[in-house]
Structure 1
């Protein structure tokens, strides 16, 4: 009889660990709270298992080279780089080589949270690579400023395997794209954004004073840009370039008239769609939904640019937005034969200061205009509809930079004059519109303020 040997192999999975970093630590330590590492790179090297955390104590951490994050987390077990509780952690890239990013994410299921990241000689946080390897990354609650290019950026160079499933939320991005400050560079990087990407969510960020576009997506699909505050960037505040199936909603976009960020002596436009030329890539903008945004004092509030590749407004919804007081036309559409199945409905356009209220060029038979409110100028005949309203919308306090001031007074002519659409179920504040459709970004809600503003 042959002997049968059965070998049982028992594997144990070590629990996730917290590794601490402090300016008083040593890289020869264990990385515990009482014996922290000295450098963030040592902490990242130690965090090899899904669920591991690199927790950095307060202080300034100058870097001489890029912090590469190469160890992967897993579903519901991210590897996280973050600050300790409410302590201020500053990662400084002043001494890194030229044209190198400060933090580079080279893997998946990574979270970077609650850090101050400054003086990058390229990108503050760079997420670069194929989506098969670079995906499910979260950049949350960081203060990123004074970067030569983007504050944070995700991208790749292959539309067949785009970087994907990225969340950038609750960040403050300021004074980035400094390479373009003296207009000696033609770089048009975003303060925050992505290119050749899929499923990128840009949510609740504040983006300002960047010498390039504020928030942007290009050659991207299924993005979300929502609940952001965007102001005083260069050329365009929110830009969709060769981007499809993307929602742009509940953003507050304005200028403080800081002319350091003017292009051609004008502030940035609010929201723009275009299709620039990218050699070897085609992804004409289409099926984008732009709703419940408040646009104040920009150059154009909403515009389509037909330059370079053109392509038109294709299957685009621009609905229930409030546009106020642009220095140029509130609505600007370049001539293009490619417009298809686009609707511009239920918006409020209030112009001040004598600028034109619209500039509409070329054929618009494939664009439906209806149930919009116009005040402060005569709109182009192509946009007029029998269901339009021509009257002051009676905001609570139009002209401020406070989104709530663009709520409607109780006697506003914008009340109950819209048409119900499946794309707009709620308003700027998240209130359900139900069966009543008011024009603009806000549904009327009776408050002490607007009841006294009659």
Structure 2
């Protein structure tokens, strides 16, 4: 009787299981146990062993990807604290299509954090869908990888796109990543399509706090009916085509025509507080975008060769031999943005193509424009002649409260005292900070992505002296990690200071020739902007 009672009590209490942590090291062995002292050698071996909810920590060093596949939910893969793992795939072998491939469409949750991800014939990271596996499956039952976060990663030198989201891949979040140098492989030569982030009908994407640069085509686009996506507080520069596009051109098979029978390319997109610099095509483009909101962005030197700094166009979806969908944007809000062109480009500042804006509920207003050679506007629906801002207002009733004047910015695109952008925007209740986290609390919002009163933090992360430093992941939270490459053995005096120069922390680092990784623990610091000084090198950083 006592034995039975004990057994019943055991069942009633239940058994609690805890997520495991697996370790991978370049000097490990895949026959090991995967512990800290007995690590695996490869990430695929750790994925095979892991269960949903587990964590995989990669010790610092170089790892080769032959296309690493993640097919389990809620796996959290990151560099070991204080170290930096680099995962590289070649770009010239088509069978290695991605460096990291979430290949099971029903995978949910998980993260990639503090990793350097390089290469892949097509993509550095791809999220898979079963959208086209069986056309008889209803749209609302089709699946894609969902709920994954990519955070504080450096993703670069990819064959084509850096990050690819396919239909139904919902709730993907990309935070504080550096994404750069796409289109670096032969795949881009066959099909020149190499975005920083390419989203085709993947809902609820968030891209925030990223530095996206040197992109072969477009920095970020959300098309194919992608909805409820947020592009916020990113710096996007040096793009071979566009900066941020809501919509573009998508084949009909990728649309959810139950939800979106009109074939809108983008629905309810939100673009706020971004800085876009040096794009050959549109800085911000809307193709068949419904309910788009574009607020407080700064666009510098866009449309150097095509389109316009702000560009509206229709979709062009081929449905069959006699039918195509050409849909314009509807119910859009483009407010509090700053557009500056260099005066040497031919494209106009703003252009609306034929039938590209529909309905009577569009708002384009309270924007700032400046072109030293003269700001011009073009609406193909009304006239093929270029207009001044005054003519644009009179003919279209758009931008009635906008201005055409030098915005007075410094070299980092921050507003100077006396700028006409200051306190001339319209407050939006959901926009409480600028692109660097500065509160917008001193009256009316400033126009553009910067609110007067803070120094820049998104500058290039490395400066060459006889050593090179790079902040790994930015903004930062509890740890400030740096990669230091030196040509000689040396000691660097390192400190963290407030903006007014008060020293908060000081260390001396012994740096050896080659690559070093250093970590400063900063959990004790309150959120804000600080200065990191290492030798004669200074860098602003933002702690969250």
**With structure 1 as the length reference, what TM-score do the two structures score?**
0.78
Structure 1 residues 24 and 381 mapped into 2: Cα distance closer, same or farther (>3 Å)? same
Q: CA deviation at 1:49?
A: 3.5
Q: CA deviation at 1:122?
A: 1.8
Q: CA deviation at 1:188?
A: 2.5
Distance 2:29 2:50 in 1: 16
Aligned to 1:197: 202
Aligned to 1:56: 58
Structure 1 residues 189 and 394 mapped into 2: Cα distance closer, same or farther (>3 Å)? closer
Aligned to 1:248: 271
Structure 2 SS opposite 1:41: helix
Q: CA deviation at 1:427?
A: 4.6
Gapped runs of 5+ residues in structure 1? Answer: 74-78, 157-161, 256-261, 276-284, 365-373, 448-454
Please point out which of 21, 26, 30 is paired with 2:24.
Answer: 21
Aligned to 1:236: 242
Q: CA deviation at 1:190?
A: 2.0
Distance 1:22 1:395 in 2: 51
Aligned to 1:303: 311
Structure 1 residues 386 and 48 mapped into 2: Cα distance closer, same or farther (>3 Å)? closer
Please point out which of 293, 312, 318 is paired with 1:289.
Answer: 293
Q: CA deviation at 1:253?
A: 0.3
Structure 1 residues 312 and 114 mapped into 2: Cα distance closer, same or farther (>3 Å)? same
Distance 1:336 1:72 in 2: 44
Q: CA deviation at 1:42?
A: 0.8
The residue correspondences of 1:7-156 to structure 2 (distance < 5 A) are 8=8, 10=11, 11-50=14-53, 52-64=54-66, 66-73=67-74, 79-94=75-90, 97-99=93-95, 100-105=97-102, 106=104, 107-129=107-129, 132=143, 134-156=145-167
Please point out which of 284, 296, 303 is paired with 1:271.
Answer: 284
Distance 2:373 2:45 in 1: 58
Q: CA deviation at 1:123?
A: 1.0
Q: Figure out how many residues of one structure are paired with residues of the other and give that number.
A: 395
Distance 2:171 2:229 in 1: 9
Distance 1:97 1:390 in 2: 52
The residue correspondences of 1:214-225 to structure 2 (distance < 5 A) are 214-218=219-223, 219-225=225-231
Q: CA deviation at 1:360?
A: 1.8
Answer with 314-323 or 79-88: which moved more. Answer: 79-88
Asked if structure 2 preserves the Cα contact closer than 8 Å seen for 1:237 and 1:270, the reply is yes
Distance 1:230 1:95 in 2: 24
Structure 2 SS opposite 1:109: coil
Q: CA deviation at 1:112?
A: 0.7
Aligned to 1:316: 332
Distance 1:446 1:189 in 2: 34
Structure 1 residues 224 and 56 mapped into 2: Cα distance closer, same or farther (>3 Å)? same
Distance 2:276 2:399 in 1: 30
Please point out which of 152, 170, 174 is paired with 1:164.
Answer: 170
Q: CA deviation at 1:221?
A: 0.5
Distance 2:453 2:52 in 1: 50
Gapped runs of 5+ residues in structure 2? Answer: 131-141, 248-264, 317-324, 456-544
RMSD: 3.1
Asked if structure 2 preserves the Cα contact closer than 8 Å seen for 1:319 and 1:424, the reply is no
Structure 1 residues 138 and 443 mapped into 2: Cα distance closer, same or farther (>3 Å)? closer
Aligned to 2:541: none
Aligned to 2:363: 343
**With structure 2 as the length reference, what TM-score do the two structures score?**
0.66
Aligned to 1:368: none
Asked if structure 2 preserves the Cα contact closer than 8 Å seen for 1:292 and 1:440, the reply is yes
Structure 1 residues 151 and 390 mapped into 2: Cα distance closer, same or farther (>3 Å)? closer
